[in-house]
Amino acid sequence: MNETISRFKRSKYFGYALLFGLALFFWAFFKILSPHNFGTSKLMANYLQTSIQYAVGGCGFYFIVVMGLFDMSIGANIVLSSLVGVLLSRQFGYYGLIFGCLLCGTLIGSFNGFLYTRLRIPSMIVTVGLMLVLESVAAYVVKLDPAGFPGKLTDPNILAFNHAPWNYIVAVSAFLLMAFILRFTKLGTYFNAIGSNEFVAKAMGINVEKYKFIGFVLLHFFVGIMALLTVSYGKGMLAVTGMESMGRNFKPLMGTFFGVAFKKYGMPVSAIVIGEFIITLIFNGLVALNVPTTINDFVTGAVLLIIVTLTNRGARGSVVK
């Protein structure tokens, strides 16, 4: 009996139960406090729509976070890829928007990966420098936009990804791709191996530099998809400088934390998607209670820390990187 319970506690079903339990807990908490303006089926669909773009970015982030790396240039990539997509959409419509976002995002990932593996300095430092570079480039790109409303998607015929079903189709495709890569290719195994112990992975014959490079490329490919969803969602993008894009790193990262915390249950993709949904649920619940946004950020951050601590705390005496 104990063995069955113990096995269940290590299975993905337990992970799902835990995540759905958390979502249900927060839903019930806010529903009781604010029964009329929170948590109806229609509103839940709205919350999900808001959260999927961050979940796509969170999926990309997972590829490198699981290897112990970090990238501060995600926000800058979202800004630049979005602006390139908008610029190209003026000429080539949907093709320009989609390929502008995806290609620009992937190219930036290749560049980041190349510099990180060649310069041999911590990913945090490389990507902070790149964030500044990308922000500056974005400021120039927006000046190239001939439209009266630079950086904005003013043409109503190019807003399919702004709403259902196409935003869901794109996001679900990204989630399936992520699950496929992790489950059916050697990349997922290698990424985990590198994250667990890079030296052992190297000794086993894994080309660590190559897979770190691939990790950055995959991350930024997903960031390109997130850029497509984000620029469509807001109907435009604002070019920012002076590290202001950094704020965009953290919402996807929150989902990634869920993914890393629930990795042991073998369901990182679902954890990222449901985790982002829970974060959006909390945000909307607090707004329903008329809690100011500043307090909202505090509560969201604190809840995230508690969840990750409870689900992924290392054993006493273990080394935490």
Partner 1 sequence: MKKAMMILFSVILVSSLLFAGGAGEKASTAKPLIGVSIWSSTDTLGSQVKRMLDAAAKALDVDVMYVDQGHISERVTASAETLVAAGVDGFIICNSASAEMTSVINTANRNKVYTAQFFRVIDPVANPNEHALAVASPYYVGSVHEDEVDNGINLVRILCEKGNRKIALEGWEAGDATFLLRWEGYKKGIELWNAENPKDKAVLLDPQYGGTTSDTGRATAEAIINANPDIDALIVSGGGGDTLVGALAAIESLGLKGKIDVVSTDFLADLDEQLATGGMAAESGGHFCDPLFAFMMVYNAIKGNYKVPTDGYYEILFPYLYVASSEDYNAYAKYFVDELPYNAAELREMANMSFDQLKAAAERLSIEDVISRR
Applying CB under 8 A, the residues found at the interface with partner 1 are 34, 37-38, 43, 46-47, 50, 53, 118-119, 139, 142-143, 148-152, 154, 162-163, 230-231, 233-242, 244, 247, 283-284, 287-288, 290, 292-294
Q: By C-beta, is 145 or 312 nearer to partner 1?
A: 145
* Distance separating alpha carbons of residues 48 and 66, to the nearest angstrom: 25
Q: By C-beta, is 138 or 218 nearer to partner 1?
A: 138
Q: How far is the CB of 82 from partner 1 (least distance, A)?
A: 9
Q: By C-beta, is 54 or 262 nearer to partner 1?
A: 54
Pair of tokens at residue 194: 């590198």
Each as own residue / partner, the long-range contacts of residues 42-46 (CB below 8 Å, 24 or more positions apart, any chain) are 43/284
Q: How far is CA 100 from CA 155, 192, 225, in A?
A: 17, 31, 10
* CB-based contact 254:56 (threshold 8 Å): no
Q: By C-beta, is 57 or 100 nearer to partner 1?
A: 57
Q: How far is CA 196 from CA 12, 199, 251, 266, in A?
A: 20, 9, 25, 15
* Distance separating alpha carbons of residues 77 and 101, to the nearest angstrom: 9
* CB-based contact 244:96 (threshold 8 Å): no
Q: How far is the CB of 184 from partner 1 (least distance, A)?
A: 33
- Neighbouring CB atoms inside 10 A of 92's CB total 13
Q: How far is the CB of 284 from partner 1 (least distance, A)?
A: 5
Q: By C-beta, is 78 or 271 nearer to partner 1?
A: 78
Paired with 152 in beta bridges are: 236
Q: How far is the CB of 163 from partner 1 (least distance, A)?
A: 5
Longest distance between any two alpha carbons in the chain, whole Å: 69
Q: By C-beta, is 7 or 143 nearer to partner 1?
A: 143
Q: How far is the CB of 3 from partner 1 (least distance, A)?
A: 46
Residues constituting the chain: 321
Q: How far is the CB of 181 from partner 1 (least distance, A)?
A: 26
